[in-house]
Structure 1
């Protein structure tokens, strides 16, 4: 019995030592900073309101030097810091009805993602979400100028459905933007209202993701230390993105955002197909 305990203690010590050594190597590795710093800047600009395409490059960039799950775990605390900056930047701008319709579905999506995280791969989710995003933009283009200019009314069923998808894909692949945009963009809200509402939605979604991420053991010392090193950068980029968006007219903002959704969709489809074959 004592021998078994001694062996277990030795293994635990060895595991802790190896994890500590890996953390040191990660933070001392210049390639970590070469990929993580641009990733944080791109995600921050996206959080500031410049669409989802740049944000989708964040985790893939970091996976050049670390496993995808670790990259996602390191990025979540950074997203929370960005959410604080974005909430301050877009304070006073939001549509309560959009949040009231979409938040319940987003929470359901997180719960589904938590339950299915072991059986659904990131690549499957990226392929499905990417295909939906591309088809959504193509439908927007084919609608013609008159169809694109007409705002759609709120629809509780559609809001619940797409927000559930957004919560699910945000949990399993940090790819909640396109499903949210599929519902919210046709509302044709003022750009400041659109961005302020999306910031609140994803700030709540990201905060709720902390609980299952912690339960799954993704916030270890290595990942949290890496997040802490990158956190100071997380404040500046959202402010820069918001500064640009505040100076964009709706007739410029919406075509730009649809273009970003289309590029995001193509990127997600490419990532999903490339990893599956």
Structure 2
């Protein structure tokens, strides 16, 4: 990666978009900003750049998503699987077929959204389930470690619970705060960022306050139904991105 003006501008815009998503939805849709970063750097370098920045983004987002917005019963069920999944993802990082994982996650997400469209929001409401929560946390941990795409498994567990928009966003925010803090060191060990990458990180830190604040204001402007519709729409975008990553990887 060359530290040019264009690299700085594109990376800054990508981080700003990711921060906006964290402010608006608490996290989980960070992958939508990664295509911007891939314009000026390879995915592995982008992962090394984002790993420490995610921690700063999450800590700033928690200024808005306070403990009163966390669904503690769900977090108790989700977090052990998340940490375990990150550990598995780290151990298997060099051996996993990232393309296949992306395709499977994309297909699962699209099926989930299709069921919501066919059945309707009310029919998709489900009670809490410890096995489902553990599975969602584990899947999220693995996919966030190998592809920064841990949002879909978590959303597929949380959205059918019918949580309020604030509780959904706050729970997601804390979930990824724990996940991003856990995976930061493994990612840095895998990537070993250069001096230019560290410099770019420092510059991109400036995007965090404005991005999170703008996202939080956007969240406040939407009602419960609108937030859920946007979340399902973003799941489609995320799934299509993962599908493209997987399929294009095999065709390359």
- How far apart are 1:56 and its partner, in Å? 1.8
- How far apart are 1:133 and its partner, in Å? 1.0
Q: 2:11 maps to which residue? A: 36
Q: 1:118 maps to which residue? A: 94
How do 1:209-228 and structure 2 match up within 5 A?
A: 209-228=183-202
Give the conservation status (yes or no) of the 8 Å contact 1:192–1:246: no
The structure 2 residue matched to 1:130, chosen from 95, 103, 106, is 106
How far, CA to CA, are the matches of 1:255 and 1:225 in structure 2? Answer: 38
- For residues 121-173 of structure 1, the C-alpha deviation after alignment (integer angstroms, 9 at most, x for no partner) is 4333222211111111001111135414xx32110000000110001100111
Alignment length (residue pairs): 250
User: Is 1:191 aligned to residue 165 of structure 2?
Assistant: yes
The structure 2 residue matched to 1:82, chosen from 53, 57, 74, is 57
How far, CA to CA, are the matches of 1:146 and 1:86 in structure 2? Answer: 30
How far, CA to CA, are the matches of 2:149 and 2:179 in structure 1? Answer: 12
The structure 2 residue matched to 1:249, chosen from 218, 223, 235, is 223
How far, CA to CA, are the matches of 1:168 and 1:212 in structure 2? Answer: 12
- How far apart are 1:50 and its partner, in Å? 4.2
How far, CA to CA, are the matches of 1:178 and 1:96 in structure 2? Answer: 20
Q: 1:49 maps to which residue? A: 24
- For residues 59-101 of structure 1, the C-alpha deviation after alignment (integer angstroms, 9 at most, x for no partner) is 2221222221111110112111110111111113111011000
Q: 1:10 maps to which residue? A: none
Structure with larger Rg: 1
How far, CA to CA, are the matches of 2:222 and 2:32 in structure 1? Answer: 23
How far, CA to CA, are the matches of 2:205 and 2:225 in structure 1? Answer: 34
Q: Which has the higher contact order (CA 8 A, sep 6+)?
A: 2
The structure 2 residue matched to 1:158, chosen from 132, 141, 144, is 132
Give the conservation status (yes or no) of the 8 Å contact 2:8–2:200: no
Q: 1:61 maps to which residue? A: 36
How far, CA to CA, are the matches of 1:213 and 1:259 in structure 2? Answer: 29
Q: 1:271 maps to which residue? A: 245
222 and 192 in structure 1: CA distance in 2 versus 1, 3 angstrom threshold: same
How far, CA to CA, are the matches of 1:145 and 1:54 in structure 2? Answer: 20
The CA RMSD measured in Å over matched residues stands at 1.8
User: Is 1:96 aligned to residue 75 of structure 2?
Assistant: no
Give the TM-score of the pair, scaled to structure 1.
Answer: 0.85
How far, CA to CA, are the matches of 1:263 and 1:199 in structure 2? Answer: 20
Give the TM-score of the pair, scaled to structure 2.
Answer: 0.93
How far, CA to CA, are the matches of 1:217 and 1:230 in structure 2? Answer: 18
Give the conservation status (yes or no) of the 8 Å contact 1:73–1:218: yes
127 and 133 in structure 1: CA distance in 2 versus 1, 3 angstrom threshold: same
